[in-house]
Chain A
Amino acid sequence: MNLLSIFNQVEISHYIYLSTVLFSIGLFGVLFRRNAIILLMCIELMLNAVNLLFTAFSTYMGDADGQIFVFFIMVVAAAEAAVGLAILVLVYRNTRKTDVSFLDQLKG
């Protein structure tokens, strides 16, 4: 089934490095950007980095649980994106901005 006999050539550590890099890039985006939509996208990116790692471990260890988790993460990500975007649209309607700095107006 496998297209490449990847196990023999790629160590799990390479996947770890890859997903760490991806995660960090997403993190950098979250920190750096102010556009709330980009922020949400960066979060998706981070989630995907985690997904990749889960999958890699799942495959290397021969355990399906990791992939189930990826499945759940996708579900949560989808829900999050839906609600997040809805909030964004609402905010935009009020402020004409999608800048996260609006959040300092929150009173709590």
Chain B
Amino acid sequence: MLALISLNAKSGPNFITMFQNLPIPFLILSFLTILSSLYVVTSKNPVHSVLALIFTFFTISAHYVLLNAQFLAVVNLIVYAGAIMVLFLFVLMLLNLSKETEPVKSNWWGIAAAITAGSMLLIVTAAFQVTGEAVAKNPVEGIGLVKALGKVLFTRFVVPFELTGILFLAAMVGAVLLGKREKNNAVLIPKEEGGNS
């Protein structure tokens, strides 16, 4: 951390002053994003986690709007908040996991995880401090709109686009296959642990 601070001191505004000139909406949004994402990982109740995550996605969509990526903002809401998270919620409900069933991990594990994640954060920020250069601002009107995106997607990225279709197909088939109940599907679990009900 000391290294980080010293790096900051070298390369511009320090950690506190860098927030001073920011627009209020951005600050509020960011604050909410971080808060809700923290709740996602710390909440003991999975349902709360899902709900917090959906909220996070909403805030991120708001960021997209701020960034003039309107199409993405909408898609994010539809796909993530709408589809994926509902899927999560649905599975939770289906398995009746709303209670706090998760085994508690020991403290040292939490500390280890925090240290590891923290050091990752530190390193990535430090990396930016060391190598980051001011990106030339080159805003182009309307690249976040469907029209512009569609043009790029169906010209330069048409092959990957088609490939994602295949990926979806595969995922769909896989999901269906996995979901199918089989007679003898306890292969994963040794008998003596008696997992099969």
- Chain A residues near B (Cβ < 8 Å): 1-4, 6-7, 9-18, 20-29, 31-35, 37-38, 40-42, 44-45, 48, 51-52, 55-65, 67-68, 70-72, 74-83, 85-96, 98-99, 101-102, 105-106
Contacts and interface: CB of A to CB of B under 8 A. Distances in A.
Q: Is the interface of A mostly helix, strand, loop or mixed?
A: helix
Given A14-B18, A32-B105, A89-B179, 6 more contacts: A3-B66, A37-B46, A38-B46, A48-B60, A56-B67, A68-B157
11 contacts: A24-B117, A28-B113, A37-B91, A45-B37, A45-B41, A74-B75, A74-B76, A78-B84, A79-B170, A85-B87, A85-B91
Contact of B102 (A17, A38, A78): A38
Contact of B40 (A1, A17, A29): A29
Contacts of B128: 13, 16-17, 20
Contacts of A6: 23, 26, 66-68
Interface of B: 18, 21-23, 25-26, 30, 33-34, 37-38, 40-41, 46, 49-50, 53, 56-57, 60, 63-72, 75-76, 79-80, 83-84, 87-88, 91-92, 94-95, 97, 101-103, 105, 109-110, 112-114, 116-118, 120-121, 124-125, 128, 132, 134-144, 148-149, 152-153, 156-157, 160, 164, 167-168, 170-172, 174-176, 178-179, 181, 185-186, 188-190, 193, 195-197
A56 B63 CA distance: 9
